[in-house]
Amino acid sequence: MTLLSVERLDARHGLLHAVRGVTIDITPGETLALVGANGAGKTTLLRTIAGAHKPAAGRIVFEGADVAAVPAHARLRAGIALVPEGRRLFAGMTVKENLLVAAARGRPGPWNLDTVVEAFPLLRQRLNSRAGNLSGGEQQATAIGRALMSNPKLLLLDEVSLGLAPIAVEAVYRSLSTLIAGGTTIVLVEQDIGRALGVAVRVACMLEGRVVLEGSAKDMTREEVTEAYFGLRRARRFAS
């Protein structure tokens, strides 16, 4: 069964053709890692799926319905949640307030304040701290927790480890492993190829707006992904 089908999707920033004919399917419980250099189109693809960027062409089919023309807030209520690059928390509000704001806009389900703190234990002592005073790792945990409070069926994570200290990356990925083990469906943008291959079921590498390599993570080597990342090999798809 397919949860999300992206079909021949195009997206633009003015004259810039940022996403070019991308087709990707996501099944429930799957983790797909999107890798690629800066400017490859990864962030635009995630934003277009979430409704934060308008597509120029193509379809975004979520649970059998084309949502390409559906506004972002309606996609959130349908079960698509985006953790944007840069986290974009309400800096003047506490961690708890950031989490509860998202709950008010979401769906009923298993994620609440207690279950989020259980998944991200580094937040337990920081619930009453202002988000602007948190470390990078704590802010990322809060941003992911905020998305989970909407009880998504599909979680889109943009640049999870970007700008974080190694110890913070380890802490965030430990919590992500808990989500993955629990069956959360995730599309993860990650520039660290080793991390991507370590957590994903499938990997898709983007180059100049196109998917140039896609397939099962266990069937790919770091060298093959690196070559696709830098455009050193012809497009190839692996059997999933």
Residue ranges of domains in the chain: 4-237
Class of domain 4-237: alpha beta
> Which is nearest to 72 in space by CA: 108, 43, 36, 48?
48
Instruction: Judge whether 72 and 47 are in contact, CB under 8 Å.
Output: no
Q: Where does the pLDDT of residue 233 fall: very low under 50, low under 70, confident under 90, or very high at 90 and above?
A: low
Neighbours of 131 (CB within 10 A): 23
Mapping DSSP to helix (H, G, I), strand (E, B) and coil, where does residue 122 land?
A: helix
Chain centroid to Cα 238, Å, comes to 22
For residue 240, the model assigns a pLDDT of 43
Per-residue model confidence as pLDDT tens digits over 184-215: 999 999 888 888 889 999 999 999 999 999 99
Is residue 235 over pLDDT 80? no
Each residue's pLDDT tens digit, 97-124: 999 988 877 788 999 999 999 999 989 9
Structure token digits, residue 218: 């266990």
Lowest mean pLDDT of 37-41, 153-157, 191-195, name the range: 191-195
Strands 16-26 and 4-13, sheet pairing: antiparallel
User: Quick one: tokens of 120?
Assistant: 């991200």
What pTM was computed for the model?
A: 0.92
- Judged by phi (left if over 0) then psi (alpha if -120 to 50, else beta), residue 142 lies in alpha
